Structure 1
Amino acid sequence: MSVETIYKVILYPFINESLASLKAMTNLTGTAGEAFMDNVDDFRFKGYAVCSEVTGNLDGVIMMHHYPETAISIGNSVCQSMFDETYAHQEMTDDLRNALAEWGNTIVGRSTDLHSRYSLEYGFSSPYFVEDLSEMDKFLKGVQEVVTVPITIEGVGRYYFNLLVRSVDYSEGGIKREESVSIENPHSKTLAKDSRILLVDDSAMIRKALTRFLAKLGYNNVVEADDGNGAVDLVKSDPPDFIFMDVVMDKLNGDKALAEIRHLGSDVPIVMLSSVTDQLLVKSCQAQGISGFIFKPIHTTNGTETIARYLKVAN
């Protein structure tokens, strides 16, 4: 099993998406180094990691991890890009954790969707986050090989992609990058400024950013829910005039909440947001009646303009 094969089939989409998302969400530029086989016995966790379990033809863990100072710098840059404010934290904070979580979710969501389009028979768990050095042993249990790719960020430092392989059984295949195109709102009548807008996302950072984008457009009657259940409850109790809703959430996903809202008989305009660009999911949401689908990331340079394009309710 060659490093080239593993890199091309498994790691390449993750690295491509991380570099693209780094540029889009932080305005930083990164370059990927050469893939190499790490020594399992010498492998060490560097401080902060976004992890996703790999199943199917490969059993292992894909890990994007950083030295603490690199993680803090990236987190500050994500926040600054999202909110157009200066962030200069010197240690990890909840804001930075949320920023890194959103960055990691975007990368994993878009990368795993690309894998699924090519029927490569790999599954990936939802990303989770680790910043405790004592947890490293459990990741290395049963690992036979470690493939590492360093990513150098201009003026900042490095982070790393690692594929920790327990076992693998696959034939070589190719990957190409495929761009995703958002589904636009087909309506032309702009939503009234006093309309009540519901934001549904399990990321407090995204809700905060959307609230700011809306305020810049003159929309200040905003309510929030952090999962699909909360959205359904609000539609029942105090129906909003418009909804922006994430797809992948901890409790009830947005596509399921959309189905429940339509089952209630509500025709409230709903725009979906997600880093997962699965076309089957998009088509399923379209079939249930949505007013557009925004593919993340959105940030301060495009957020207000993007949101404005979707605030339409009728022809």
Structure 2
Amino acid sequence: MRIANLAGRLVILRDETAIDVEGASDHRFSADPQSIYERWEEFTDWAPTADASTTVRYDPRQLRAPVPRPAQVFAVGLNYADHARENGFTAPAEPSVFTKFRTSLTGPYATVALPGDTVDWEAELVVVIGRCAHRVPAEKAWSHVAGLTVGQDLSERTRQLIGSPAQFSIGKFFPGFAPTGPELVTPDELTDPDALEIGCSVNGEVVQSGSTSRLIFPVSVLIERLSAVLPLLPGDLLFTGTPSGVGHARDPQRYLTAGDVLETWVGGVGRLRNAFAAGQPAVGAAR
């Protein structure tokens, strides 16, 4: 199943058409895309019966962040060995976890304002929690996943690395610095959800290319390690890490500039297409 946030309304996507969930369910489920994760099992039981005659064609540019208001947003650094190496680190023995915030979320076709001239790209597979996970062993972790989506963990490197010690996370907090989408794909739609092509391009030039099969800590282990510390709640997001090819590690270094178009993909899950503009970002809806 594939679901999405279409102009602020929850829809089921089938081919090039969308089913409005609130209408098709006769108001059993809300139009609010965030609310569905609290009722994920009930929703997935109902969804196959949704009346296909109610489908309508839609404009993909109206798609917004599929999870617009998560309670918690986790991210993992240095989770690919090649990315750790390009930054001068060895592979970590434990997941290196930081947070992002929902004010950073934006949609799959949003234009992102650049707060500085050293903004970097980081293509990521993003996991959406569908059932509360607390002290969950790795072998049961996937049963707590609602689905997968595509994400970017944008980073303003100057702000991120300023000071001693550097504040690793703060350069990742700007509005628009967490594009996600274009839809949520349930794991059963994928042949192997642990081995997905991942990458991104800037103005058509591929700058990152890898596979999620190379994650040091795969999805199941990340859920096990995080849920050992605190509950993962329905609708929470987990950015799983980025492969090598970031601009900051290049020689010469390369960053995003106004007018650039960044395309990000995860095989079988979808593709983001975000443009960039000069100027300080403003907080707005997760579009």
Common fold by TM > 0.5: no
Taking structure 1 as the reference length, the TM-score comes to: 0.22
Taking structure 2 as the reference length, the TM-score comes to: 0.23
Task: Tell me which structure has the larger Cα radius of gyration.
Answer: 1
Asked which structure has the greater RCO (Cα within 8 Å, sep 6+), the reply is 2
